[in-house]
Amino acid sequence: AQGGEIVISEIHYEPSDSEDYQFIELYNAGTGLVNLAGARLAGGVDFLFPAATYLAPGACVLVVENAVAFSNRYRTAGSPWYYPGLAVAGTWAGKLSDDGEAVSLLATNLADLFSVTYEAGGEWPSRAAGKGSSLELAEPAAVPTNGPARAALLAQGATWRSSSLNHGSPGRLDDYERPVVINEALSHTDLDTDWVELFNRNSTTSVLTGLYLGDSYANPLRYAFTNGTQVAPGGYLVRQAAQLGF
């Protein structure tokens, strides 16, 4: 494994429900096939990559806390968070700290290829700290191959972002295009006429099928938009409290 090619691209260190869903994603940002055999994840977790763990250019591999829990959420068709073809190298020993810590990728000779010391506060993305998101590297392909420059970039909270997808996007880079935004909300009225307004910033019609509104990180799928719900370009959509159920 070469540190300039492989980067840690996603860390789900504090899932909103259970640490069983913790995972780390590694991404091959280079142009050649990489064999991770004998490389090691170290820090709060410990994992030795088995023989013939090959990672193609642009591909991802995952190391997880609990293989059964991970498969139930991300590898089972019918789960809202299912994604096909996820490559899981195995399960680690230990656990990721909710408060932040260093995670390192070590070469077969235990040389430190690179480290990421994530934090749960300060300039680091807040939604990754138990609020439903994972911690994602904003631009994996832009990480320098030079060791000191790479270390300096990965140490900055601004280099990372909260995943736009609830429970993260393991096994692929998050390229989700946000079709609409919450533009305005009226809350806590005595007459129970609360509402949420959505706005489509795009120049094309946005279809909201498969999207949800929620009022809690623990229950983000509380209101499902009906099939075929659309918002015209530059248009608005309002949902009342009575429609939302919250």
**What's the predicted TM-score (pTM) here?**
0.81
pLDDT in tens, 121-146: 999 999 999 999 999 999 888 888 88
Percent of the chain with pLDDT over 70: 98
pLDDT in tens, 3-37: 458 899 999 999 999 999 999 999 998 889 999 99
4 class by beta-carbon count within 10 Å (0-12 exposed, 13-18 middle, 19+ buried): middle
pLDDT in tens, 153-186: 999 999 999 998 889 999 998 877 777 989 999 9
Q: Are strands 160-162 and 135-137 parallel, antiparallel or unpaired?
A: antiparallel
CA distance 24 to 139: 16
CA distance 169 to 81: 8
CB 87 within 8 A of CB 23: no
CA distance 183 to 37: 49
How much is the pLDDT for 193? 82
